[in-house]
Amino acid sequence: MGSPQFLNSPKTFVVDAIRGAVASSDDLRWHSEPGYLTRRESLPRGQVALLSGGGSGHEPLHAGFIGQGMLTGACPGLIFTSPNALQVRAATESVDAGAGVVHIVKNYTGDVLNFTIAEKMVAENGIAVEQVLVDDDVASESDDGPGRRGTAATVAVEKICGASADRGDDLATVAEFGRRTADNARSMAVALRACTLPGADRPSFDLPDGEIELGIGIHGERGTERVPGMAASELVRRLIDPVMASLGLGDGERVIVNVNGLGATHELSLNLLFAEAATYLADKGVTIERSLVGSFVTALDMDGASITLVRADDAMLELWDAPTAAPGWPNAPSRTFREVPGGIEFRAPIADEESTDSIPDSDVRLGRPAVGRWIADFAEKVLAEEPNLTDLDRKAGDGDFGTNMVAALEHVDIARIREGFALPTVFETVSDAYLGHAGGTSGALFGIWFRQFYRAAVDNPDGLDRSALATAARAGMEAIMELGGARPGDKTMIDAIAPAVSALEGATDAGLEDALRQAAVAAADGAEATRESTAKRGRASYVGEASRGVVDPGALVLAWFFESAVGTRSR
């Protein structure tokens, strides 16, 4: 048994999907005899029609590019199987508006044969057809054999021909634009994981852990080279170099760049690849005129991407920019490419005021030295425990807690916390780091927690005695409860804080050190007790019973906060 799929039956997969495509678009009609798609609206008499088609599984290609300004119709085959000649013949006759039909054909033997046979059949009825062959995939370049496969460049051909036909160009002109685009387009693809056919129980090829496959096609076929995974910047070179070589592309030339997802690749990843590609092309002196980033020519659920370069002139760019109503084309295509911007980062300043007066430790107060050690020790402890914290939140939450802690604390200067910053700044810098650099619930709540200690330090310029610490902790607890709505027993940091607050407040007769020790023990016990409860707050609350048996990581960190204060004056 493989992974479950969205499927009624492998046999009906394509028609079931077409039903949805037709139902969800304004301008798409299915013709069951013998099976093709056209626009609902007929073309104005005398306009050149555009027909494409090929195996299904590459959506949005082709059905998604049917619409004004792109295709007039498309013949879908079964998954990764070319349509047959009778489909193409009927579709050609249906879309012809008296000015002839351009067939846009990806270079595979089955596709070429069936389109060519249909072309000959409709010629008998006086319909003029021009075939534009798309053969962009450089991985399949060879001196003999069927030649380069047709892949992602098909979208560019459909767009440029579509705009040419839409503005009223004649058959020869539309076809000439198509051939010019195809001749000047090359692609190269990489897969991180192969696709799984509907109903199959495993991907069409297996990749060993850590390896990727270069030069793959769009039908789940193996690639040309299997290599260890590499940085995206390096990978992009491996894709672009053969594309540039095949095009003979050099310094000063102008291109359209398409970074295309193969079905299961996230938009963020495609954007990252585009940034790398653009940077590399800039190094090579190639000018990017337009960009297209997204998933346009897919191979079912393959995890991978292709890069297509199209050498472009002004006439082609004008057609590229023309509007289209085809649903698969981005509504806001990028126009002139500017540059990959530098300086994209998250920047949040954090407090760094130097100490000007020494506030000594005393029997009853934590002064500058003790507070510095306390918070520096705490930060080091949390950073060191990141893997364990992540693991706890993964078991009983969503797994981001450790990352959130590191995101904050990697921005604080622990050496200056220990010795350097003014006493209130020690707390303020940590608060700023949590509020400004961590995300999630914990970033906000820890930020608020440390803010109360910062206030206490400002209000108590001689250092923090037991009562000041108790006041700060209570204020922190109340702020967290008010903001987050947690109550004791909800399996949150409150379960460590509440007992510590009671201990601090109750230890009126104890010395400072004893009070701190009691608070630390109470917090640790409170954290440990969270093991037995289920979470009622935070993302951990979504996992219900699964959180039982796992200590709440937020409570654990609060327990370390109190433990780190113990013994800081005596060293």
Q: How many CA atoms lie within 13 A of 456 on its CB side?
A: 26
Q: How many CA atoms lie within 13 A of 546 on its CB side?
A: 12
- Nearest residue (CB) to Mg ion, 28 versus 535: 535
Q: By CB under 6 A, is residue 129 in contact with ligand ADP? A: no
Q: By CB under 6 A, is residue 393 in contact with ligand ADP? A: yes
Picked from Mg ion, ligand ADP, none, the partner binding residue 537 (CB below 5 to 8 A depending on kind) is ligand ADP
- Nearest residue (CB) to Mg ion, 539 versus 548: 539
Reported as type and span, the H/E element at residue 191 is strand 185-193
Nearest partner of 515 among 493, 500, 530, judged by Cα:
500
Supply 505's token pair: 């407040």
Which residues are catalytically annotated?
219
> Which range, of 96-104, 279-287, 320-328, 386-394, touches Mg ion by CB under 5 A?
386-394
Exactly one of 337, 378, 401, 446 binds Mg ion (CB under 5 A); that residue is 401
Q: How far is the CB of 540 from Mg ion (least distance, A)?
A: 7
Picked from ligand ADP, Mg ion, none, the partner binding residue 31 (CB below 5 to 8 A depending on kind) is none
Picked from Mg ion, ligand ADP, none, the partner binding residue 431 (CB below 5 to 8 A depending on kind) is none
Q: By CB under 6 A, is residue 485 in contact with ligand ADP? A: yes
- Nearest residue (CB) to Mg ion, 273 versus 445: 445
Q: How far is the CB of 424 from ligand ADP (least distance, A)?
A: 25
Q: How far is the CB of 404 from Mg ion (least distance, A)?
A: 7
Exactly one of 211, 313, 398, 462 binds ligand ADP (CB under 6 A); that residue is 398
DSSP alpha helix (H) spans, 385-465: 386-395, 401-409, 414-418, 423-437, 440-459
Q: By CB under 5 A, is residue 484 in contact with Mg ion? A: no
> Which range, of 48-56, 202-210, 226-234, 536-544, touches Mg ion by CB under 5 A?
536-544
Q: By CB under 5 A, is residue 402 in contact with Mg ion? A: no
- What Rg value do the Cα atoms of the chain yield, rounded? 32
Residue owning tokens 């705490």: 378
Query: 93 near 135, Cβ under 8 Å?
Result: no
- Strand pairing partners for 227? 212
Phi, psi (deg, nearest 5) at residue 37: -115, 140
Exactly one of 87, 260, 404, 460 binds ligand ADP (CB under 6 A); that residue is 404
Using CB under 6 A as the binding criterion, the count of chain residues that bind ligand ADP stands at 25
- Nearest residue (CB) to ligand ADP, 441 versus 534: 441
Q: By CB under 6 A, is residue 549 in contact with ligand ADP? A: no
Phi, psi (deg, nearest 5) at residue 131: -95, 130
Residues 422-481 that bind ligand ADP (CB under 6 A): 440-442, 445, 480
Supply 504's token pair: 């601090």
**Interatomic CA distance for residues 58 and 284, integer angstroms:** 31
Picked from ligand ADP, Mg ion, none, the partner binding residue 460 (CB below 5 to 8 A depending on kind) is none
> Which range, of 5-13, 80-88, 251-259, 401-409, touches Mg ion by CB under 5 A?
401-409
Q: By CB under 5 A, is residue 397 in contact with Mg ion? A: yes
The CB density around residue 349, as the number of other CB atoms within 10 Å, is: 8
- Tell me, rounded to whole angstroms, the distance of Cα 461 from its chain centroid: 48
- Nearest residue (CB) to Mg ion, 215 versus 397: 397
- Nearest residue (CB) to ligand ADP, 222 versus 395: 395
Q: By CB under 5 A, is residue 398 in contact with Mg ion? A: yes
Exactly one of 169, 393, 552, 563 binds Mg ion (CB under 5 A); that residue is 393
Residues 61-120 that bind ligand ADP (CB under 6 A): none
CB burial of residue 491 (10 Å; 0-12, 13-18, 19+) = buried
Residue owning tokens 């009126």: 508
Query: 405 near 450, Cβ under 8 Å?
Result: no
In Å, what is the CA distance from 303 to each residue of 37, 190, 263, 300? 28, 9, 6, 9
Say which amino acid occupies 164: S
Say which amino acid occupies 329: W
> Which range, of 119-127, 262-270, 390-398, 542-550, touches Mg ion by CB under 5 A?
390-398
> Which range, of 119-127, 293-301, 389-397, 445-453, touches Mg ion by CB under 5 A?
389-397
Q: What ranges make up the beta strands (E) of 57-160?
A: 73-79, 101-106, 129-134
- Strand pairing partners for 137? 187
Picked from ligand ADP, Mg ion, none, the partner binding residue 480 (CB below 5 to 8 A depending on kind) is ligand ADP
> Which range, of 48-56, 344-352, 361-369, 552-560, touches ligand ADP by CB under 6 A?
552-560
The closest residue (CB) to ligand ADP is 554
Q: How far is the CB of 72 from ligand ADP (least distance, A)?
A: 50
Exactly one of 457, 537, 551, 559 binds ligand ADP (CB under 6 A); that residue is 537
Task: Name, in order, each residue with C-beta under 8 angstroms of 108's C-beta and a sequence gap of 6 or more.
Answer: 54, 82, 146, 149, 150
- Nearest residue (CB) to ligand ADP, 242 versus 553: 553
**Interatomic CA distance for residues 175 and 171, integer angstroms:** 6
**Interatomic CA distance for residues 55 and 217, integer angstroms:** 13
Question: If DSSP codes are grouped into helix, strand and coil, which group holds residue 397?
Answer: coil
Residues 134-193 that bind ligand ADP (CB under 6 A): none
Supply 356's token pair: 């000007």
Exactly one of 35, 369, 463, 554 binds ligand ADP (CB under 6 A); that residue is 554
Q: By CB under 6 A, is residue 553 in contact with ligand ADP? A: yes
> Which range, of 49-57, 391-399, 488-496, 503-511, touches Mg ion by CB under 5 A?
391-399
Exactly one of 486, 523, 550, 565 binds ligand ADP (CB under 6 A); that residue is 486
Task: Name, in order, each residue with C-beta under 8 angstroms of 283's C-beta and a sequence gap of 6 or more.
Answer: none
Residue owning tokens 């904050």: 408
Supply 528's token pair: 């440990």
Residue owning tokens 């990727």: 212
Question: If DSSP codes are grouped into helix, strand and coil, which group holds residue 184?
Answer: coil
Which residues of the chain form contacts with ligand ADP (CB under 6 A)?
393, 397-398, 400-401, 404, 440-442, 445, 480, 484-486, 492-494, 537-540, 552-555
Interface ranges with Mg ion (CB under 5 A): 393, 397-398, 400-401, 539
